[in-house]
Structure 1
Amino acid sequence: MKRIAALDMLRGYALICIMLDHMPIGVLRNVTLANFTVFDAAELFVLLSGFLVGMVWVKIEARHGRGAAQWRFLKRAYEVWLALVLGAVLLAAFSHLLFELRLNHTAVWFRYAQWLTENPLGYIGTVALMWMQPNLLDVLALYVIMLVTAPVTVPFLLRMPWTAMAVSIIVWLFAEPLNALIPNQRPGPGLLFNPFGWQLLFFIGVGLGAFRRQILPALRKHSALLTAISVGVLLFCLAITLSWRIGEPAKAVSAALKMVYGSIDKWSLDGLRLMAIMAATWLVAVTFARPFEWMANTVIGRAFGDIGRGGLWSFISCVLLSIWGDAMDMLAPADFTGFLLRLAIDIWVIAALWASAALWLRREEWTGRIKARFASR
């Protein structure tokens, strides 16, 4: 299947934002996606994941049948689950190593390192059963649930798209009480990323990926109106985030805006965050499609694309690098020199994430050279 360069670039950008957002005193976290709108890289990651599922599913089903598509995504669910478990072990082990080296960090909860050393089988078992989802990796637990149910939900969506989306919206409306029924290690109810809420965004992505050739021509007829609405939604969201950042001087504006939108809940995916990511999707996919296509073919765009194509490898790398970057940030002084040092650390972890993804994508090439070298001796 031909890859979409802009899609890979956006996936890479999402992973970079996830990494930087989890470095609490980093410099570049102040210019990530979450600083300019009410949603963040998590929505972008889930929407793009759903889009890829829809796009790949219809290709496989057309060529090999529905059973092949169902089996493909059950296998993918297992791969993501395995990445969740292995990533949790690596996360806790790396955190423990940093603490042993007296490198403090706050990006990940300190108890994971303790649990892994005190009761490794218990730690691995609770993660494997998804009774516990370590922070930084909890979105993978959501992805596992979406993929393991895909063999049933995606065929339903493909056969009866309007009915399936209506069911998805109803489930989303009752997301909080449904999530409370899921037994979990957390003191709060259910999973942190509420699967009953976030499934709506995932299946919107699936629908867009599966029916993009039917949906886009129909929507383009109303392109001017949809662009105006999308710009309006994002400007409203920008006003909200700016009022938050300004703080006390903008308290009256913030209160007035809140009377319009009510409350914003990331974990169950509230309506405003959903509207905002859909508005951004329209602008990126249609209004500014050509500029994004151009950006995807620049040096930086291709580097971001490598990160996006790295998939689960890139995700685990971004988690570990965010912990490392956080630990290094905490060594920097509080003055301007420290600011420059933290900026350099941000740039370094982004470069390291790209290098990790590039090595992974080219693994057959360099491992082949190593094997050939040993074989020639």
Structure 2
Amino acid sequence: MAGMPTKAIGAQRTSISVAASKRDTRLDVIRGLALITIFINHVPGQIFEYITTKNFGFSDAAEAFVLISGIAVGLAYGSGFKAGKRLEMAIKAAKRAFTLYLAHMITTFVTLALFICGAWLFHRPGLLVEINILAVLMNLKEGIPALLLLGHQIGYNNILPMYGALMLMVPLILLLNEKSALLALAVSGMVWLLAGIYQIAPQNMLFEGDWFLNPFSWQFLFTIGIVSMMHVKRGGTLPRHPLLFALALGYVVLSFIWVTAHLWDLGNYLAALGLPAVLTGFDKTFLSLPRLLHVLALAYLVINIPAVSQAFRRPADHPLTILGRHSLNIFVAGTILAMVGQVLLYITNRDQVIGPIFVLVGIAAQFAYAYHLEYRREQEKTPPLAGGAIPVPVRISRGVDAYGQGKRK
């Protein structure tokens, strides 16, 4: 920008700020809320856990997070996936998957260190039998490779492997969507159904069983997010009809009553119909239909109720917007903090005062970290001015990658 007239610089900054102000921040805000909810749920045994979304419906923050991530992938990768650039976009998705793998390794081994140190320092060996840790410690020769190969996942450290696997599927999803949105949804739905019926999932290595979150099942929700966003980007609109609205609202209300009134025994009547469990159950591993329909119904209501939709549309500098914008970093920090919280609650016998205080402090720490990341981002992107003038931070409109990390357009 050296030699650029001052007025030109000012005009450029104005246009940049206007572009940023028009950015739809609902994805960041909802993702920020999902991050907070996941953190609270990952510190079980304290009172805030009982007021999170999982207690009021079939789905929880994990479903919301995956749907939002699919939408974000449609934004970040969809337009660039075209002839001559498909390989480039596939490599980009693979790099993101590897980044998620590295992040998972950080949270996994930090979790191991926290629980081992907690058991040693506070003389509480029971910590070593929590969250699938003992299987690794009893057989390090096989346990460590199993962790590295994702064949063993420590409890509460199982979202990122699933999401990394979904990122590897992105090129295929986008290729199918390029042919036809209905084709992409049909193929994805068939994979979801077959995985649920025949229990097809990546296997554990240290003991029998599957991944806690099966990517072959969760890819359907992810694909729905991608295809929906691509449809909108092409100028399409999501279907709006009073009947669909009534069905979505009725299903959300039914789910609320079912969960809050503990009507789980009614599931036996559904099972008696002889249909596959993936259609009638509430299993999270294979993303059973009731859970899938619940998160989609919620999303439909958020989009179609103006007051609700507007409530999620916050300014770019709103705390929740900033939190959601740096979601991968915040997720890693939140996971580590949650593991600290689990150790703390264990050694204090789940003290009902310490637990809530820790959760509040942990949430505050995540917001502080998000603001630190935002400050660094602003410093890195501020363009130098002619004559050595001190640059004024400005917000530049960016695209969004799978975890909300901005990329220059």
- Map 1:67-86 → 2, pairs under 5 A: 67-86=87-106
Identity of aligned residues (%): 24
Aligned to 1:317: 333
The CA distance in 2 between the partners of 1:24 and 1:107, in whole Å, is 17
**Residues 185/257 of structure 1: CA separation in 2 closer, same or farther (3 Å cut):** closer
The CA distance in 2 between the partners of 1:159 and 1:16, in whole Å, is 38
**Residues 225/190 of structure 1: CA separation in 2 closer, same or farther (3 Å cut):** same
The CA distance in 2 between the partners of 1:211 and 1:40, in whole Å, is 26
User: What secondary structure, in the 3-state scheme, does the structure 2 residue paired with 1:59 have?
Assistant: coil
The CA distance in 2 between the partners of 1:270 and 1:107, in whole Å, is 32
Gaps of 5+ in 2: 1-18, 272-279, 382-409
Aligned to 1:101: 121
Aligned to 2:388: none
Aligned to 2:269: 259
Q: Deviations over 1:291-318 (max 9, x none)?
A: 443445279x922222222222111111
The CA distance in 1 between the partners of 2:259 and 2:281, in whole Å, is 13
Aligned to 1:346: 359
**Residues 341/63 of structure 1: CA separation in 2 closer, same or farther (3 Å cut):** farther
Amino acid in the other structure paired with 1:72 = K
* Contact 1:179–1:191 (8 Å) recurs in 2: no
Q: Deviations over 1:34-84 (max 9, x none)?
A: 011011111111111111111111233379833332222121111111112
Which stretch of the first structure deviates more once superposed, 277-286 or 147-156?
A: 147-156
**Residues 44/181 of structure 1: CA separation in 2 closer, same or farther (3 Å cut):** closer
Is 2:310 aligned against 1:293?
yes
The CA distance in 2 between the partners of 1:312 and 1:194, in whole Å, is 20
Q: Cα distance, 1:353 vs. partner?
A: 1.8
Q: Cα distance, 1:324 vs. partner?
A: 1.7
The CA distance in 2 between the partners of 1:178 and 1:141, in whole Å, is 21
Q: Deviations over 1:225-279 (max 9, x none)?
A: 22211110001101111122xxxxxxxx553465358421111011111110100
Which stretch of the first structure deviates more once superposed, 87-96 or 257-266?
A: 257-266
Which among 82, 92, 109 is matched to residue 89 of structure 1? 109
The CA distance in 2 between the partners of 1:341 and 1:130, in whole Å, is 33
Aligned to 1:210: 230
Q: Deviations over 1:135-186 (max 9, x none)?
A: 2221211111111122223211222221221111111111146554644225
- Map 1:192-231 → 2, pairs under 5 A: 192-213=212-233, 217-220=237-240, 222=241, 224-231=242-249
Amino acid in the other structure paired with 2:258 = I
The CA distance in 2 between the partners of 1:176 and 1:106, in whole Å, is 33
* Contact 1:137–1:319 (8 Å) recurs in 2: yes
* Contact 2:201–2:215 (8 Å) recurs in 1: no
Which among 186, 199, 202 is matched to residue 166 of structure 1? 186
The CA distance in 1 between the partners of 2:123 and 2:330, in whole Å, is 24
Is 2:344 aligned against 1:328?
yes
Q: Cα distance, 1:8 vs. partner?
A: 0.7
Aligned to 1:357: 370
Aligned to 2:322: 306
Q: Cα distance, 1:202 vs. partner?
A: 0.9
**Residues 367/327 of structure 1: CA separation in 2 closer, same or farther (3 Å cut):** farther
* Contact 1:23–1:107 (8 Å) recurs in 2: no
**Residues 109/32 of structure 1: CA separation in 2 closer, same or farther (3 Å cut):** same
Q: Deviations over 1:201-231 (max 9, x none)?
A: 11111112211246863513x1x22221111
Aligned to 1:374: none
Amino acid in the other structure paired with 1:293 = Q
The CA distance in 2 between the partners of 1:241 and 1:181, in whole Å, is 27
- Map 1:226-241 → 2, pairs under 5 A: 226-241=244-259
Which stretch of the first structure deviates more once superposed, 278-287 or 83-92?
A: 83-92
The CA distance in 2 between the partners of 1:133 and 1:268, in whole Å, is 17
Which stretch of the first structure deviates more once superposed, 56-65 or 200-209?
A: 56-65
Is 2:163 aligned against 1:146?
no
**Residues 29/183 of structure 1: CA separation in 2 closer, same or farther (3 Å cut):** closer
The CA distance in 2 between the partners of 1:30 and 1:56, in whole Å, is 35
* Contact 1:85–1:124 (8 Å) recurs in 2: no
* Contact 1:55–1:209 (8 Å) recurs in 2: yes
TM-score (norm: length of structure 1): 0.82
More helix by share: 1
Q: Cα distance, 1:351 vs. partner?
A: 0.9
Amino acid in the other structure paired with 2:294 = A
Aligned length: 352
Amino acid in the other structure paired with 2:345 = D
Which among 32, 47, 50 is matched to residue 52 of structure 2? 32
- Map 1:112-123 → 2, pairs under 5 A: 112=133, 115=136, 119=140, 123=143
User: What secondary structure, in the 3-state scheme, does the structure 2 residue paired with 1:61 have?
Assistant: coil
* Contact 1:296–1:305 (8 Å) recurs in 2: no
Question: Cα RMSD between the aligned structures?
Answer: 3.3
**Residues 329/172 of structure 1: CA separation in 2 closer, same or farther (3 Å cut):** same
